[in-house]
Amino acid sequence: MTQPLISHALGLHMHQPPGNLKLLIDHHESDAELIIRCYERAVRYAQQFKDSGNIHVGFSGILLEQFLDPEMIDRYRKFIDIPAMLDSYRNAHNVELIGMGYYHPVFPIIPQEDWKEHLIRGRQIIEDVFGRAPKGFWPPEMAFCMEMIPAIADAGYEYVIVDGVHVQPDNDGPVDIYQPYKATYEGSTITVIPRERDVSNAQESGMDAIWFTQEVQHKVKSSPNPEQPRLVTTWSDGENGGWFRQMSEESAFYGHFWSPLINKIQNGEVPIRSVSLSEYIKEHPSKESAFVRTGAWNVGTTSGFDFSQWAGSEQQKEGAEAIRQVSQRYWQLSESEEKLSEEDKKILKDARELILEGETSCFLFWGDDWVPKLYERTEPALNLLDKLQG
């Protein structure tokens, strides 16, 4: 039996928490250079292979906000020209831009009432900066639950990437992570793209084109439907770890893995093609439906099933509860927004921004050292809301 052509969708996740580019350039300039060059490197290599290589790049809204900051543009100019980099992304049509929540929240942990604004604003800033709206959505930390589907679909997204280990076909058949599925919740349906966890972990830490080709061929051959079109989706951070940050590009992700792989694809040496997910879905619309269990991606020794990396310690749980409480107060007060003065409306808006910013996943992810940054947002927000009740 001849093995079908394998389609590979490569994804990179890009995010920095609020104010982090400034923090890095102020106190860790060498790290600042390593990180900022990762963002430029992705589009530069995409331009080199514009006819045969596709990359999906997701940007959080807060990272793009920092890219647009005149101070950051000026201070990072010694390393890269940020506006020129953004122009390159705008014109690189083999880069499929992916949306996220604006402040990169762990959606299943934050109040559902706050989902809509993160989703819409995250999508809007992509369109504002790059001139095209994203079709695909990346849940920050791959934290997903079925309840998110109506909100994601209402925000205008066509598909969502989820970790393949959480996918369960509705027909009780074997899980096939090498195909898209449809997932439906309360009448809203979206295409679900399962991520290949094992190969994605290798993408994050280091691999070469030969190993990748052999590995995906082996996995596809062992999949439930090896004779059908196969989609291997790999996704990782695009700026974390020495593999991506290494200044010697020949021995890093793009020089050691991606460029050799695309060269082999161009020369017809491997049964693989590099694809855009939005185009692949048009060619191969999902025929089966699935349920996606609540969970996230694996981090360190965690499985991603219980959100322990973000809500495992007592301090993390208390921080998440602080967010819920201040958000609830905001929504209670916003019910009478029409009766507020213009000054009070501005106070309400300022409190809202602090609440959304406080929902940034990093404040919980980095544990007890970073949870205080969450309170640096929630406590001023509470003070502002107290003024409206005074």
What secondary structure does DSSP assign to 312-364, as a single string? -SHHHHHHHHHHHHHHHHHHHHHTTGGGS-HHHHHHHHHHHHHHHHHTBTHHH
CATH topology classification for 6-292:
7-stranded beta/alpha barrel (3.20.110)
**Per-residue pLDDT reduced to its tens digit, 186-229:** 999 999 999 999 999 999 999 999 999 999 999 999 999 899 99
Q: Given a cut of 90, is residue 299 above it in pLDDT?
A: no
- Give the amino acid at 360: T
Give the per-residue pLDDT at 359: 98
pLDDT of residue 1: 44
If we measure between CA atoms, which residue out of 306, 205, 218, 208 comes closest to residue 258?
Answer: 208
Quote the CA–CA distance of 212 and 214 in Å, as a whole number.
6
User: Which structure tokens are listed for 97?
Assistant: 């831009």
pTM assigned to the model: 0.95
Over residues 63-98, the pLDDT tens digits come to 999 999 999 999 999 999 999 999 999 999 999 999
Any idea of the CA torsion for 298, 302, 304, 308, to the nearest 10 degrees?
A: -140
In this prediction, residue 139 has a pLDDT band, given cuts at 50, 70 and 90, of: very high
Residue bearing tokens 């598909």? 159
**Torsion angle, alpha carbons of 127, 92, 271, 266, to 10:** 170
Residue 301 has pLDDT above 90, yes or no: no
Radius of gyration over every alpha carbon of the chain, rounded to an integer in angstroms:
21
pLDDT in tens, 225-247: 899 999 999 999 999 989 999 99
Instruction: Please compute the mean of the pLDDT values over residues 155-167 and round it to a whole number.
Output: 97
- Percent of the chain past pLDDT 90, that is, above it, reads 91
Domain boundaries, the chain: 6-292, 312-389
Reported confidence tier of residue 3, pLDDT bands at 50, 70, 90:
low
